[in-house]
Amino acid sequence: MTIEVRPIRPGEGEALLKMTRALAESHGFLDKYTATAADLERALFAPHPIVGCLLAFDNDEPAGCAFWHRSFTTSRGREVMYLEDLSVLPEHRRKGIGRALLKALAVEARQRGFPSIYWLMKGWNDRAKALYAEAGAECDEGLCYYRLADDALVRLAESSA
């Protein structure tokens, strides 16, 4: 068994799409998933991109991804890394690919000068929790994640002061 992790390359958007869709499915919002492979590649290979992605290969088969974006914390006054999607395809799980992606992401963060990586997790995933604890991550529980989107955003923008 060979696990390889490296940055995504142009033309691999379809493989990435499959992984991020698998994650959306396991979180129950595949019906709200509208992105295309072209959307993801456009963002990744844009000038001055705010996103990046590592792919993991299991015996040369695309098996998982760590898709991140640049973020910023006011308390440090500097950019940090935000891990948007860590996904391993079901048939490639329990082989240490999640751990390999997380370690490679830590290397990437160091190379780019980010002092920290942040991410959100639904509270119920015990396997992921164990992985993150082993990696040394600290967790702040009980947060509310707000979303103001689409029609609700327009309504607020057009409301009276």
Subset of 47-106 contacting its own copies (CB under 8 A) = 48, 50-51, 67, 69-79, 82, 84-85, 96, 99-100, 102-103, 106
Member of 1, 11, 113, 143 binding its own copies (CB under 8 A)? 143
Member of 6, 9, 93, 107 binding its own copies (CB under 8 A)? 107
Rg of the chain, C-alpha, whole Å: 17
Edge-first strand listing for the sheet containing 61-73? 3-7, 51-58, 61-73, 78-88
The DSSP result for 37-97, as a single string, is HHHHHHHHTSSS-SEEEEEEEETTEEEEEEEEEEEEETTTTEEEEEEEEEEE-GGG-SSSH
For residue 144, state whether it binds its own copies (rule: CB under 8 A).
yes
Member of 40, 63, 66, 88 binding its own copies (CB under 8 A)? 40
Helix (H, G, I), strand (E, B) or coil at 157: helix
Residues numbered 11 to 30 that lie near its own copies (CB under 8 A) are 20, 23-24, 29
For residue 110, state whether it binds its own copies (rule: CB under 8 A).
yes
Residues 112-141: x where in contact with its own copies by CB under 8 A, - otherwise, as a string = ---xxxxxxxxx-----x--x--xxxxxxx
148 vs 12: CA distance, rounded Å: 31
Q: How far is the CB of 53 from its own copies (least distance, A)?
A: 9
134 vs 141: CA distance, rounded Å: 17
Q: How far is the CB of 153 from its own copies (least distance, A)?
A: 5
